[in-house]
Amino acid sequence: MKLAFVLFKYFPYGGLERDFLRIAKECQSRGHEISVFSFIWEGDIPEGFNLTMIPVQGFTNHQRINSFSNSFSKLLLSKKESNEIFDLIVGFNKMKDLDLYYAADPCYEQKVRDQHGKLYRLGNRYKIFQAMEESVFAADKNVELLFISDIQMENFKKIYHTPGKQFHSLPPGVDRSRIRPENAADIRAKARQSLNLNDDDKLLLMIGTGYKRKGVDRTMEALSKLPEPLKSHTFLMVAGEDKLKKYKQLAKRLGIENQVHLPGSRDDVPELLLASDLFLHPARHENTGTVLLEAVAAGIPQLVSGICGYAFHIEKAQAGIVLSEPFQQTELDQKLLEMLTSEQWQQWQDNALDYMQNSDIFSMPDKVSDIIEATGKIRASANIYNNYTITT
């Protein structure tokens, strides 16, 4: 099949982007032709991918996204007129003309109802984002909907009354490079040496872009409240992009500037996981949190907020502690101290690795590719492409 994958922006370290890449490569390995459409692309272009960058106009993010969607629609029409038709359009952001949508983001309309008043709905930002969401989830759009969060699935069903048969629940899609290797101890020792960590030092690790959403400030505050001498021997590394100056200033204000390392995005995440003693993710909101399961695969104990969609895996695995909701800083402070001084470390690690061995946390790209192929066969038999009916 000729498959078009569409996403607004690509950079190598984003969770959605990494999911897109694994799915597209799996489809490519099955012999399908891969075309990609975007308006921002950072990093290498995978071999065999046909990337088209679509120019956009607008000063604001929602204006640029609307411009991209409209331009993509025109491109599809021009290809249809020249008989260059894609078998399926697979989208990773909400927009028009999709056949399948990979739902990495929560329900926008639900968020608006929960957090905003009537005046917010008068703005162009709301009108554009709501129209794009409706173009995917409206009952008559016939888009196959691929969900990594069952909780979010119910929100969309409630608001848009989308037929249940269009929803597909997916297993997690952890990258197998995160699996703890047999020589983990050697890798850990080498990585810790490169970070100038002593044997009695504790390394806290956080991974992800968007520090406020991930709760980096919450972790910094908890670190600053540890008692001595434990605090002096505990360090925090955050691998991910954000406005680093702001958080360096926060670390200085809390008196922990020498214990906080903010290197930005890193290519050595598997090694950092093995070098760490505790993975933290006290997020303010998190649709799923695949990074939690990456830490499980590496056998790293975790301290995470209950708001994370995948937090139930940590509870089920008994691989750490899940904070109660609503979040309380005092609970994070207390649980961090408890975990750093606990004798359960080996049990948490063993539990995580046992869960990784006996649970399906890797097969998402395979499942999505199966759904893409099945959808392609069904729509080909009905002569339906790109949600347009092709008459012959």
Q: Does residue 392 carry a pLDDT above 50?
A: no
pLDDT of residue 150: 84
Supply 54's token pair. Answer: 């679509």
Read off the pLDDT band of 149 (50, 70, 90). Answer: confident
Both 91 and 206 in a single domain? no
Backbone angles phi, psi at 325, to 5 degrees: -115, 140
pLDDT of residue 389: 44
Both 162 and 210 in a single domain? no
Read off the pLDDT band of 37 (50, 70, 90). Answer: very high
Q: Does residue 218 carry a pLDDT above 70?
A: yes
Both 75 and 147 in a single domain? yes
Average pLDDT of the residues in 151-170: 93
For residue 204, give the nearest of 227, 230, 180, 183 by alpha carbon: 230
Both 73 and 186 in a single domain? no
Both 216 and 350 in a single domain? yes
Supply 3's token pair. Answer: 């498959």
Both 287 and 380 in a single domain? no
Read off the pLDDT band of 161 (50, 70, 90). Answer: very high
| Residue 9 belongs to domain with CATH number | 3.40.50.2000
d(CA 266, CA 180): 18
Q: In the 8-state DSSP scheme, what is residue 241?
A: -
Both 29 and 67 in a single domain? yes
DSSP 125-169: HHHHHHHHHHHHHSTTS--EEEES-HHHHHHHHHHH---GGGEEE
247-300 pLDDT, tens digit per residue, is 999 999 999 999 999 999 999 999 999 999 999 999 998 989 999 999 999 999
Helix (H, G, I), strand (E, B) or coil at 94: coil
Helix (H, G, I), strand (E, B) or coil at 253: helix
pLDDT of residue 391: 36
Share of the chain above pLDDT 90, in %: 90
DSSP 2-44: EEEEE-SEE-TT-HHHHHHHHHHHHHHHTT-EEEEEESEE-SP
Both 45 and 119 in a single domain? yes
Average pLDDT of the residues in 53-68: 97
62-77 pLDDT, tens digit per residue, is 999 999 999 999 999 9
Both 45 and 126 in a single domain? yes
346-382 pLDDT, tens digit per residue, is 999 999 999 999 999 999 999 999 999 999 999 888 7
Average pLDDT of the residues in 111-137: 96
pTM, to two decimals? 0.89
Q: Does residue 10 carry a pLDDT above 90?
A: yes
Task: Work out how many domains the chain is built from and give that number.
Answer: 2
pLDDT of residue 384: 64
Both 316 and 210 in a single domain? yes
Both 111 and 213 in a single domain? no
Q: Does residue 386 carry a pLDDT above 60?
A: no
- Structural element, H or E, at residue 170: none
Q: Does residue 383 carry a pLDDT above 90?
A: no
Range of the domain at 25: 2-171+363-389
Both 129 and 242 in a single domain? no
Contact 348, 319 (CB under 8 A): yes
Beta bridge partners of 202: 234
Q: Average pLDDT, whole number, for the chain?
A: 94
